[in-house]
Amino acid sequence: MAILEVNKMNKTYIGKVNYEALKNITLSVEEGEFVAIMGPSGSGKTTLLNCISTIDAPTGGTIHINKISPYALKEEELAAFRRQQLGFVFQDFNLVHTLTVQENILLPLALDRVAQDVMMERLAKVTTILGIQHLLTKRTFEISGGQAQRVAIARAIIHEPTLLLADEPTGNLDTKSVKDVMQLFTTVNQDMNTTILMVTHDAYVASFCQRVVFIKDGEFYNEVYKGNNRQQFYQSIVDNLAFLGGVTHDFS
């Protein structure tokens, strides 16, 4: 079943000179898939993610998430849809520094007034998967960047979203933390069957995914699938980026 369906989507920014950021984008992501979007700076990949996440409305075409068109919803319905159907992981973590790690993770459930016993059950589940049980009483300024991203991932998945969206989630991390965090994304994808769509500029990061979609100048360019050989998959990503003028990362 397709969790995400984008059909002939366009996005034009209106100004003194109109700028067509996305042109006729069609994309489908199946339940349980882990997909990366790649392309050079200015290619439209973040704009695409913003339209899917309902941060920015498309100019034309349609988007359906779990068979629902978010842009057909009223404002209150859309806010509830975001909280319940979508999870977000950002480059700069977006944690609330006045809250403890536990309070940050539980925030989406608290906003939806989920019962306390359900909250604690889900907290135990996600913190065990992500290996951060020992951090729950700490403040965010007391933990490392890699630990902070784990907390951000836990907050994004605790309400068991239909679709997890990640925008350059490893951009602020050192090499070891990048590998750790991407292994965690893989675990979340496989153990919780979470559907993930991630924007990245990094070929190494993208090699953890099952499929990579490339866009150039706001249009679909190509896509490659992982198959059984990650090294070959990585090389395919690098080759496509070379044509596009993108950025790569050493494979290890």
Query: Tell me, what CATH number does 68's domain have?
Result: 3.40.50.300
The answer as to whether 128 is a domain residue is no
The answer as to whether 68 is a domain residue is yes
Q: What pLDDT shows up at residue 249? A: 54
Q: How far apart are CA 165 and CA 87, in angstroms?
A: 6
Residue 80's CB: how many other CB atoms inside 10 A?
A: 14
Residues 134-153: pLDDT tens digits? Answer: 999 999 999 998 899 899 99
DSSP string, 88-138: EEETT----TTSBHHHHHHHHHHHTT--HHHHHHHHHHHHHHHT-GGGTTS
Residues 212-249: pLDDT tens digits? Answer: 999 999 999 999 999 899 999 999 999 999 988 755 55
**Range in 54-58, 71-75, 241-245 the model is least confident about:** 241-245
Residues 32-53: pLDDT tens digits? Answer: 999 999 999 889 999 999 999 9
- What is the reported pTM? 0.91
CA distances from 150 to 11, 21, 160, 173, 226 (A): 32, 32, 16, 11, 25
Q: State which residues form the domain around 216.
A: 2-98+162-244
Q: What pLDDT shows up at residue 93? A: 78
Residue matched to tokens 């993208």: 206
Q: Which residue has the higher pLDDT, 93 or 61?
A: 61
Query: How many domains does the structure of the chain reveal?
Result: 1
User: Is pLDDT of 107 > 50?
Assistant: yes
Q: How far apart are CA 80 and CA 86, in angstroms?
A: 10
Q: How far apart are CA 185 and CA 194, in angstroms?
A: 9
User: Is pLDDT of 251 > 50?
Assistant: no
Q: How far apart are CA 11 and CA 130, in angstroms?
A: 36
| Banded pLDDT at 127 (limits 50, 70, 90) | very high
Q: What pLDDT shows up at residue 67? A: 95
Q: What is the DSSP letter of 248?
A: -
The answer as to whether 142 is a domain residue is no
The answer as to whether 32 is a domain residue is yes
Q: What pLDDT shows up at residue 66? A: 94
DSSP string, 51-84: HHTTSS--SEEEEEETTB-GGGS-HHHHHHHHHH
Residues 145-180: pLDDT tens digits? Answer: 889 989 999 999 999 899 999 999 888 888 888 899
Residue 1: exposed, middle, or buried by beta-carbon count in 10 A (0-12, 13-18, 19+)?
A: exposed
Give the helix/strand (H/E) hosting 206: helix 203-206
Assess contact for 105 and 126: CB atoms under 8 A.
Answer: yes
The answer as to whether 135 is a domain residue is no
